[in-house]
């Protein structure tokens, strides 16, 4: 089959187009089958694969089974994480399937190599430090009373109170907020577990300690934001931008205040807000289903991991003699 491979620099995604080339609408809908984040990750993975193939005078698409086996093995030898190697294998598979080609990743030889990499390199996830309620209090104590500070305070508190993923927090718009007597309903239009955009509403109460809704309103009023993105860039002079921040900004804000609070910054990320809410709720004995109402986890086993972590010293088997 004839084909062409084109890297879309604007979205950092690889578009594989069969000949005859489909129309713009077909390409757009095909790309929409994957989230923007996934497409960016696949684009990066495929550029890495293409560069490796070029350096070894090999063909990237369609790729030979031996080529893929050698590439994945080289990635493991270079110290890449298993999750990164698996993502590159998934990107290679997606590229071939999208082009209407048989994927070399389906071959038993590739599957065996991936199993060997998982066994030898290991797949234990790196646990990020949860920004628990106590840690959030310490972190916001270092937030300055500036325009950027008002944004950061609202970002930290809303992100924690809604157990939001960093991408969800960055994508929020004013139209996603519905205020009520008890707090604010926040509509998540699309998320990692809702790729088709059915939407999910998260209830964020006013609270009595952290006061996330108050912080959110203070930021919006101070910034004069009535429509569009909630969280935006703020210049050093305090000028608020027009465009939404990215998930990287959320992660950087979390790390910045974790460092100011004297916490081990290497263990914190954008996910720490989400993990912190679940951990804090579990530590206070909240019901699993009620935690999942906020966190929107699909698999309760994931939430139980946080609960076990929070409870690991409670009623310890050795507490009576250690």
- Kindly list the catalytic residues: 165, 192, 271, 274, 297, 306
- How far is 136 from 156, CA to CA, in rounded Å? 8
**Sign of the C-alpha dihedral computed for residues 47, 52, 53 and 57 taken in this order:** positive
- How far is 286 from 295, CA to CA, in rounded Å? 12
Instruction: For residue 124, give Cα distances in angstroms to 9, 120, 270, 300, 304.
Output: 33, 12, 20, 19, 17
Please state the φ and ψ torsions of residue 11, each to the nearest 5 degrees: -105, 0
- How far is 270 from 257, CA to CA, in rounded Å? 12
CA angle at 284 for the pair 279 and 288, rounded to the nearest 5°: 65
Chain centroid to Cα 159, Å, comes to: 13
- How far is 267 from 307, CA to CA, in rounded Å? 19
């Amino acid at each position: 089959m004839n084909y062409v491979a084109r890297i879309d620099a604007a979205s950092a995604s690889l578009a594989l187009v069969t000949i005859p080339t489909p129309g713009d609408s077909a390409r757009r809908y095909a790309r929409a089958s994957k989230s923007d984040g996934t497409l960016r990750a696949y684009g990066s993975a495929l550029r890495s694969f293409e560069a490796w193939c070029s350096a070894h005078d090999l063909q990237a698409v369609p790729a030979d089974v031996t080529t893929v086996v050698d590439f994945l093995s080289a990635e493991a030898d270079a110290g890449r994480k298993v999750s990164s190697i698996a993502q590159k294998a998934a990107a290679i598979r997606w590229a071939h399937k999208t082009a209407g080609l048989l994927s070399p990743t389906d071959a038993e030889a590739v599957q065996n190599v991936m199993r060997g990499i998982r066994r030898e390199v290991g797949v234990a996830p790196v646990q990020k430090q949860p920004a628990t309620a106590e840690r959030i209090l310490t972190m916001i104590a270092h937030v300055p009373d500036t325009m950027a500070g008002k944004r950061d305070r609202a970002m930290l508190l809303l992100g924690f109170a809604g157990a939001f993923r960093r991408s969800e927090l960055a994508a929020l718009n004013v139209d996603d907020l519905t205020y009520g007597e008890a707090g604010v309903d926040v509509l998540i239009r699309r998320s990692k577990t809702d790729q088709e955009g059915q939407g999910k509403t998260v209830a964020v109460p006013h609270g009595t300690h952290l006061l996330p809704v108050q912080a959110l309103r203070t930021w919006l009023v101070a910034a004069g934001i009535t429509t569009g993105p909630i969280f935006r860039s703020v210049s050093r002079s305090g000028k608020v931008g027009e465009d939404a921040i990215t998930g990287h900004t959320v992660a950087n804000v979390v790390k910045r205040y974790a460092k100011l609070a004297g916490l081990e910054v290497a263990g914190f990320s954008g996910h720490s807000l989400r993990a912190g809410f679940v951990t804090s709720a579990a530590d206070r004995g909240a019901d699993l289903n009620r935690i999942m109402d906020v966190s929107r986890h699909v698999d309760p086993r994931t939430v139980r991991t946080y609960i076990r972590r929070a409870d690991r010293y409670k009623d310890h088997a050795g507490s009576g003699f250690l």
